Structure 1
Amino acid sequence: MAEPSLPFSIESSKVVILTGAGISAESGIKTFRDNDGLWENHKVEDVATPNAWNQNPELVWKFYQQRRKQLLEVHPNPAHNALVNLSSVSKEFVLITQNVDDLHERSGSKNVIHMHGELRRLKCEKTRISQDRMSKKDLQSEFIYCNCCSIPKKMRPDIVWFGEEPYQLNKIFENIEDCDLFVVIGSSGHVYPAAGLVNLASKFGAYTIIFNLEPPINSHAFDEIITGPAGITLDKWVNTIIKNYENSEL
């Protein structure tokens, strides 16, 4: 991997990060693009769409409860930790993730924008009020009911399913339009609108980099492509950035 040669100093720059499933996969979390599009042996349309919830809520609930329990078994990897280190030397740092796990927060990242929701949270079907629900009783196989309605209503995973609009899009667009460096980590470039954010960053003059196991389908949109496990490539890249920063302070 070539030495970082950014066209600006990191300490005077606004950095926006977008992470995808690849960074979580390195911690052992399976993605729906594994095994020919099956997700834990389920078709995506059977467990990750509003129609699936309406048609077979028991299956969807069981699927997501298994994924929620899995959070207790996985841990942040060096790529998650590298982003915390990068944030410490950036003038402004914004972390956006497509992932629904909490590995960024557990590594020490703050104010993460979860554009596709969070496994830790459930929301009332009626009021849409979202709550962090990860106690032992919240991980049971039976449905969980809200405490915000006079007659408790069933709660659903606070996840943006296929066909639903991602969260905080305006905030995401505003940050990308104003950044100097846009870095994507672990994204195949298949899922929109996330896959199109690099085009927005480029339009407003940001330098764009992607770290991924292999070049994504939208690789032509990036200024720089770095392939390999993010736990190795990103960690090395960030360490070099920090070393250069520390040397500049001498």
Structure 2
Amino acid sequence: MSQPTPSNLDPTSVSSFRKHLTNSTRIIAILGAGLSAPSGLPTFRSTNALWHNHDVFLVASPAGWRRDPGLVWQFYSERRRDARRASPNPAHYALVELAKRKKGFVALSQNVDGLLQRAGLDGNSGQLKLLHGNLFDLSCAGGCGYVDRDNFVDPLCDVLAEGRTRANVLGAGVQGGRPPKVSALLFEGIAAKNRKILGEEKFADGAPTAGDAAPLRELGEDVVRVPDAVPELHSGIEKEELPWCPRCKEHLLRPRVVWFGESLPEDIMADVDALFEEDKIDLCLVIGTSSKVWPTAGFCDQARKRGAKVAWVNMGADDVKSPRQDDWVFLGDAAVILPQILVAEGVLQT
């Protein structure tokens, strides 16, 4: 875990926040990756949304899964290991204590790392809603209904063992070492368009050719460079080597997380909708999230409509979305700020 960065909070603002917190009963906390960053887990922004030079938005997507479940499982196996090696930080423990003292507290978490649960917040208590799932839950990719919860086995299969990541990916062997300006998602879109134009009977889905995977022509070049060999569009891992559903035995297991392009779980969203349909909300905490991903981005405004005052805890001002004059804005390390703004109120014990 990284060392917390010291904060320099305005005493007047902290005092005002603590007074409101003392009198608050119903509290909603919207949590993002910045909560776990002090534990050493990178945010998408800090990695430029890249993983081993792959666009995370493409790997963690239904298109990425259809094209290469092996690559997707490599990505999530690494994330599972990173999360297991990380420890909850003081911000996690501060929220757990808040939940103990304020029974009307509910955390709406976008994090899948399990650190808040390891700090002591019971996922079955009703005080924690995992909007994006959990890295350590698995489900049948075919929808047979099989779910394996709290699976911490590593590796899940031999081919996913640490250090066995394979380099046979799209673009390997391109002349001059330049990566192609194409992606699995682009191939997926082209195939879908061709299928629509030709119809199912005439459309034939095949592997990309060398020309398909070549870099586009650069400014000033007369020819398109084509690799000598056709690059592989996959990790080199065969489906037979990956974890299979033990119930139906017809489909692979997948991480039970929400991929880019998928909807949030219906049961979770029904619970969230009910939260904003109930009585007055006293306080909304927005912690470690830029509030740019929907529908989570709209939760703060929904809380305001129920009377909530809003407190922001983020590293930078750019992550605070349209603050109002009476909002509290605390900029800095969540692992420092959350204990600091809670402890004098008596929620935490020093």
TM-score (norm 2): 0.65
Name the amino acid aligned to 1:138: L
Please report how far the alpha carbon of residue 80 of structure 1 lies from its aligned counterpart in structure 2 after TM superposition.
0.2
Larger Rg: 2
Question: Is residue 295 of structure 2 the alignment partner of residue 158 of structure 1?
Answer: no
Out of 110, 130, 144, the residue aligned to residue 147 of structure 2 is 130
Tell me the CA shift for residue 152 of structure 1.
4.7
SS in 2 for 1:220: coil
Q: CA deviation at 1:93?
A: 1.5
Aligned residues: 244
Question: 1:193 and 2:295 equivalent?
Answer: yes
1:159-215 CA deviation, whole Å, 9 max, x = no partner?
Answer: 101111112112112224443211111001221111111011011111111100012
Contact 2:61 / 2:259 at 8 angstroms: preserved in 1? yes
Aligned counterparts of 1:9 and 1:35: Cα–Cα separation in 2: 35
Q: Deviations over 1:57-109 (max 9, x none)?
A: 11111111111122221000000010011122214121221000110010011
Specify the SS of the correspondent of 2:329: strand
- State which of 266, 270, 292 in structure 2 corresponds to 1:170: 270
Query: Is contact 2:137–2:147 with CA below 8 Å preserved after alignment?
Result: yes
Partner of 2:183: none
The 3 A distance-change label for structure 1 pair 145 and 164 is: same
Tell me, what secondary structure is at the counterpart of 1:32? coil
The residue identity in structure 1 corresponding to 2:339 is: D
Q: Deviations over 1:196-240 (max 9, x none)?
A: 110110111111111000122514268221110001111101112
Distance 1:81 1:40, change over 3 A: farther
Q: Secondary structure at the match of 1:82?
A: helix
Structure 1 residues not aligned, in runs of 5+: none
SS in 2 for 1:60: helix
1:27-70 per-position Cα deviation (integer Å, ceiling 9, x unaligned): 11112222333245321232111111101111111111111122
Alpha-carbon distance in 1 for matches of 2:147, 2:137: 6
Paired amino acid for 1:20: G
Q: Is the 8 A contact 1:22 1:186 kept in 2?
A: yes
Quick one: structure 1 residues 12 and 21, their matched pair in 2 at CA, closer, same or farther if it must change by over 3 Å?
Answer: closer
Structure 1 counterpart of 2:26: 14
- Greater displacement, 227-236 / 63-72: 63-72
Q: TM-score, normalised by structure 1?
A: 0.89
1:184 matched residue in structure 2: 286
Structure with greater strand share of residues: 1
Identify unmatched segments of 5+ residues in structure 2.
Answer: 1-8, 161-240
> Which residue in the other structure is 2:244 paired with?
145
Deviates more, 1:190-199 or 1:98-107: 190-199
Identity of aligned residues (%): 34
Q: Per the alignment, in what secondary structure is the counterpart of residue 210 of structure 1?
A: strand
Larger deviation, residues 6-15 vs 221-230: 6-15
**Partner Cα distance (1:75, 1:9) in 2:** 27
Residues in 2 aligned to 1:128 and 1:32: alpha-carbon distance in whole angstroms: 30
Matched residue type, 2:270: N
Return the offset for 1:12. 5.4
Counterpart AA for 2:139: K
